[in-house]
């Protein structure tokens, strides 16, 4: 498997909190489906921001690769948490999907007719072609999620990053959404952040737990027992949640097991 992102000994954070991520190393592969879990405030979003270039590393490196060769840039689609979207903003589904196309390198910063033609096939793929002219304020949470997914993939990215995609949608939408992600994953690598460990277990190929440092767990065939063993230094609260195992990682400290 070819790596597309290699992170080595990354230290990153914010001006007033520079040590959110400590010594983080991680590889994301072509067609990977990597689940990122961890407690609130553990640094999951900060890791995504570092990958997206929204914050600069204090030290360490993030390298992008294409067919084994280092490249300066990787085309990454991002699907934000839907509570970050202002649904009152007067914009149509068509416009939101179109806005995922980068205008980088274009002399005239305007979408062409050719660009606009790319929207409909994406909407068909997402099953929202009948919503193209609706305002986003008229959509359900699940429909908006699909619109944002369409926006994330329209520019043919190598990787899409999804931050908590199943929050605020019901179980049926969630199941259908993950079927869609499986389809997309045949062509595009996915990094998925979720608090729902049950969802992560049933969907992803590899898992990373971020809590200042990062623990990587390779493989998709993860049993409850495996998870308990792998996280023996992290208190995990087990909750009943339909037929899926559902756990919440409580605040824990990876420095502790590194010293052992």
Answer for which of 42, 77, 165, 198 binds ligand ATP (CB under 6 A) is 42
If the CB atoms of residues 96 and 231 are measured against ligand ATP, the closer one turns out to be 231
- Mode of pairing for the β-strands spanning 3-14 and 59-66: antiparallel
Taken in order 148, 150, 154, 157, is the CA torsion positive or negative?
Answer: positive
Site size toward ligand ATP (CB under 6 A) is: 12
- At closest approach, how far in Å is the CB of 252 from ligand ATP? 12
Cβ 14 to ligand ATP, closest distance in Å?
Answer: 3
CA end-to-end distance (rounded Å), the chain? 32
- The secondary element (H helix, E strand) that includes residue 225 is helix 224-230
Give me the sign of the Cα torsion angle 166, 33, 99, 84. positive
Closest to ligand ATP by CB, 21 vs 123, is: 21
Per CB under 6 A, the list member of 10, 22, 28, 43 interacting with ligand ATP is 43
Which segment (40-48, 84-92, 225-233, 237-245) binds ligand ATP by CB under 6 A?
A: 40-48
**Residues 9-38, interacting with ligand ATP (CB under 6 A):** 14, 16-17, 20, 38
Using alpha carbons, select from 75, 78, 70 the residue that is nearest to residue 6. Answer: 70
**Residue 126: burial class (beta carbons within 10 Å; 0-12, 13-18, 19+):** buried
CB of 28 to ligand ATP, least distance (A): 17
The binder of ligand ATP chosen from 44, 94, 146, 254 (CB under 6 A): 44
* Strand, coil or helix: 178: helix
Token couple for 53: 């270039």
Please tell me the distance from the alpha carbon of residue 136 to that of residue 86, in angstroms, as a whole number. Answer: 9
Binding of residue 84 to ligand ATP (CB under 6 A): no
Q: Which of 191, 2, 157 is nearest to 75 (CA)?
A: 157
Nearer to ligand ATP by Cβ, of 139 and 162: the residue is: 162
Q: Indicate the residue among 150 and 165 with the shorter CB distance to ligand ATP.
A: 165
Cβ-based nearer residue to ligand ATP, 101 or 209: 209
Binding site for ligand ATP (CB under 6 A): 14, 16-17, 20, 38, 40-46
């Amino acid at each position: 498997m070819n790596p597309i992102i290699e992170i080595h000994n990354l230290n990153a954070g914010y001006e007033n909190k520079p040590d959110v991520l400590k010594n983080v190393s991680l590889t994301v592969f072509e067609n990977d489906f990597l689940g990122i879990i961890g407690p609130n405030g553990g640094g999951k979003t900060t890791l995504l921001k570092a990958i997206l270039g929204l914050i600069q590393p204090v030290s360490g490196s993030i390298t992008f690769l294409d067919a084994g060769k280092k490249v300066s840039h990787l085309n990454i689609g991002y699907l934000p948490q839907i509570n970050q979207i202002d649904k009152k903003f007067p914009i149509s589904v068509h416009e939101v999907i179109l806005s995922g196309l980068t205008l980088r390198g274009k002399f005239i910063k305007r979408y062409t007719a050719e660009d606009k033609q790319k929207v409909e096939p994406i909407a068909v793929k997402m099953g929202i072609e009948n919503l193209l002219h609706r305002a986003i304020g008229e959509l359900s949470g699940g429909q908006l999620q699909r619109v944002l997914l369409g926006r994330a993939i329209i520019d043919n990215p190598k990787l899409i990053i999804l931050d908590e995609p199943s929050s605020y949608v019901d179980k049926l939408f969630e199941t259908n959404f993950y079927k869609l992600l499986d389809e997309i994953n045949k062509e595009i690598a996915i990094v998925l952040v979720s608090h729902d460990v049950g969802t992560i277990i049933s969907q992803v190929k590899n898992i990373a737990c971020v809590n200042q440092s990062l623990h990587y767990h390779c493989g998709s065939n993860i049993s409850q027992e495996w998870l308990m063993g792998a996280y023996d230094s992290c208190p995990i609260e087990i909750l009943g949640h339909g037929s899926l195992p559902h756990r919440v990682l409580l605040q824990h400290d990876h420095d502790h097991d590194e010293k052992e």
